Amino acid sequence: MPFIEEMELLLIDMMIKNKDMVISDSKLMLELCMINPNYHRYFMDREKLSKLLNMDVEYIVDFYDTSNGTFKGAIDTVIKSLESKKLMLHQNVYMINHVSMPKIDNVDDVFDFDADTGLFKSKPIKPKIEYRQATKEESESILGIERRTLVDEFNCDNVGQVIRKGLGNQYYTKVNKSVLDHLSIVKFYKANKFIYNIHELARQKYKVLNHHKVKEIQDLLNLKVMIRIDKNATNRYEKAIGLLKEYDNKAHRIHDDYIDNINTLSNNLIDIHNVDGIQDV
């Protein structure tokens, strides 16, 4: 991919500036300027985006499906490249917000004595919320809940199928409720855990980039992403035109406005200089 070099430089800079780094794919994409905030703002609300842009939702589904594949491939490529250079190790982990009640050692932890009335008044007990990496057992349980919800309740084999049916919000709502009910976890997400040695990165002559250099690389990366999306859309359009019978389920790709619609989405969801392009009223 034409923007891997820029991704590597920015990711190394992030590692040097942070002693530890655990970050989701979506946050990483945003930090690297592969997307703008609108991308995830409308990821689960495609019908609303369809209305705001006056565009058939099938184009939006197509855009997210294809761009997510491009971004996932790029992130995997950069991770493998840095691992092969022995600059870091990578793990996929769940990060969670686990809720528990505080330990009660004696009655004073629960009640206050009111000398005026001679009565005990109960204290408000606030639950303790701990943000941390999930344990192996918690991770296995979360995976089990996700899989059972996916197959048993939504009759799907992967999350992509759920989202394409427009049931993403319902799926995640059910999963989150089950995870809370069974594991007392109020929030969880999959994240990338990067393990690296800051001193070794410095020894290899990687230096902290100044603000202007970072901005320059981010702008270039963002531009290259948009060019890639435009090129891929053109390739899909030309392929669909040549194979009409094989693309009955993606007939929108042969429409004259296909490339223009993908470009419109790129301008509004990718371009870091056009965050306010969508008028959300």
Tell me what the pLDDT averaged over the chain comes to. Answer: 89
> What is the value of pTM for the model shown?
0.82
95-146: pLDDT as tens digits: 999 987 666 556 565 566 666 676 666 666 677 888 999 999 999 999 999 9
pLDDT confidence of 73, banded at 50, 70, 90? very high
pLDDT digits (tens, 9 = 90+) for 168-206: 889 999 999 999 999 999 999 999 999 998 888 877 767
131 contacts 96 by C-beta, under 8 angstroms: yes
CA triple 183-187-190, angle to 5 deg: 100
Task: Look at 68 and 241; give whichever has higher pLDDT.
Answer: 68
Integer CA distances (angstroms), 187 to 92, 118, 211, in order: 17, 42, 33
d(CA 233, CA 93): 33
Task: State the Cα–Cα distance between residues 222 and 224, nearest whole angstrom.
Answer: 5
Question: pLDDT grade, residue 247 (50/70/90)?
Answer: low
Residue 261 pLDDT level (bands cut at 50, 70, 90): very high
Fill in the DSSP letter of residue 147.
H
DSSP strands (E only) in the chain = 21-23, 89-100, 111-114, 119-122, 128-133, 185-195
Q: Which of 47-51, 197-201, 204-208, 235-239 has the lowest average pLDDT? A: 204-208
Question: Would you kindly state where each structural domain of the chain is located, as residue ranges?
Answer: 4-88+196-269, 95-193
